[in-house]
């Protein structure tokens, strides 16, 4: 079985740069390709910006930003890498084309993983000679800090390769979930999308401002979700009798018209409401400043959770122990 030493990245930007930073911080060599003329500056800039946060998390003893090199083509990446992470724009035709190119140039035992947020890997396999090594490894932004990665196999993906991908992601400090079925949007984005749609409906109907909608999460359920998720949260709401009591007591409320779920019409008025609201929220803060604050807060949350070995805190303990060896 091929040992994974060099990570190939196809596509830069926020996600590709995040993958580069995470892999470099955990002692891997990285080779990247993006056709944009300023791609190298963007990727190296993303890595440099992420490095202070990654230093707080804990760097591998061989970690170095100098282990990143740029390639001049997809084929160069495919021939040099042991695992390839694709992060190109969310267009199915482009994904199929890129996967076909990578598949044609890479050795048969090189894993090909897509960062897609919801497209199906079976579609990417359509023009591949070795579809058994094509799968989804869907991360969350910021990729270099958030540990969740959803692994989704296509109809022809082998279980062995899904397992190999999971082991790799664990080695770079992530928490892989092996999705049981190939479903659009996977797991977390299905939940996020439902909340986002309700948020837009509330704004469109004038029930709240963007700040008030954010506060409704920040000061309440968001704190619980960080370590209990949705199901454990509601199990506790049932008291000593647990989830069954909760379901019987509050189940009938599911029939009430509290949510809409269908997407609202993205009118110019709604777009202006969302944009103007978030601009006001960020009025005295630049995006880089907000990213730094986000990273510091995320690390603090993970460190607090590590005391109780819960959620992302347990992952933080594991990667710190591994990188210290």
- As a whole number of Å, the CA-based R_g of the chain is 21
Q: Where are the beta strands (DSSP E) in 63-138?
A: 68-70, 83-86, 111-114, 134-138
Q: Which residues of 17-51 are buried (b: 16+ CB within 10 A; e: fewer)?
A: bbbbbbbbbbbbbbbbbbeeeebeebbbebbebbb
Q: What is the value of pTM for the model shown?
A: 0.94
Q: Retrieve residue 74's tokens.
A: 């997809």
Among all chains, which residue has been given the structure tokens 């997407």? 263
Structure tokens at 23: 């892999």
What is the C-alpha separation between 2 and 32, in angstroms, rounded?
20
Q: How confident is the model at residue 86 (pLDDT cuts 50, 70, 90)?
A: very high
One fold for 6-178 and 188-284:
no
What is the spatial distance between Cα 157 and Cα 33, in angstroms, rounded to a whole number?
A: 25
In whole angstroms, give the CA distance from residue 290 to residue 28: 28
Under CATH, what is the fold of the domain 6-178? Rossmann fold (3.40.50)
**151-206: pLDDT as tens digits:** 999 999 999 999 999 999 999 999 999 999 999 999 999 999 999 999 999 999 99
- If you average pLDDT over residues 88-99, what whole number do you get? 96
Listed by start position, the domains of the chain span 6-178, 188-284
Range with the largest mean pLDDT of 100-109, 233-242, 261-270: 100-109
CATH topology of domain 188-284: 1.10.1040
């Amino acid at each position: 079985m091929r040992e994974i030493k060099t990570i190939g990245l196809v596509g830069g930007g926020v996600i590709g740069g995040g993958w580069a930073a995470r892999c470099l911080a955990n002692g891997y060599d990285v080779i990247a390709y993006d056709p944009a003329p300023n791609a190298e500056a963007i990727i190296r800039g993303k890595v440099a910006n992420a490095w202070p946060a990654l230093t707080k998390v804990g760097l591998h003893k061989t970690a170095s930003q100098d282990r990143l090199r740029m390639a001049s083509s997809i084929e160069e990446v495919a021939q040099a890498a042991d695992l390839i992470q694709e992060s190109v724009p969310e267009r199915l035709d482009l994904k199929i084309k890129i996967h076909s190119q990578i598949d044609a140039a890479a050795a048969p035992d090189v894993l090909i993983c897509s960062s897609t947020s919801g497209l199906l890997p079976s579609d990417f396999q359509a023009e591949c000679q070795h579809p058994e090594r094509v799968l989804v490894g869907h991360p969350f932004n910021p990729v270099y800090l958030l540990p969740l990665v959803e692994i989704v196999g296509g109809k022809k993906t082998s279980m062995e390769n899904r397992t190999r991908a999971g082991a790799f992601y664990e080695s770079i400090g992530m928490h892989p979930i092996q999705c049981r079925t190939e479903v659009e949007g996977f797991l977390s984005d299905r939940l996020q999308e439902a909340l986002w749609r309700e948020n837009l409906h509330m704004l469109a109907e004038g029930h709240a401002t963007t700040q008030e909608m954010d506060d409704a999460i920040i000061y309440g359920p968001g704190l619980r979700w960080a370590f209990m998720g949705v199901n454990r949260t509601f199990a506790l709401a049932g008291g000593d009798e647990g989830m069954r009591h909760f379901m019987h007591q509050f189940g009938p409320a599911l029939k009430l018209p509290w949510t809409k779920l269908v997407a609202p019409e993205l009118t110019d008025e709604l777009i202006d409401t969302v944009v103007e609201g978030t601009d006001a929220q960020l009025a005295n803060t630049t995006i880089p400043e907000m990213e730094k604050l986000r990273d510091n807060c995320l690390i603090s949350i993970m460190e607090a959770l590590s005391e109780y070995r819960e959620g992302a805190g347990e992952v933080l303990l594991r990667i710190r122990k591994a990188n210290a060896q």
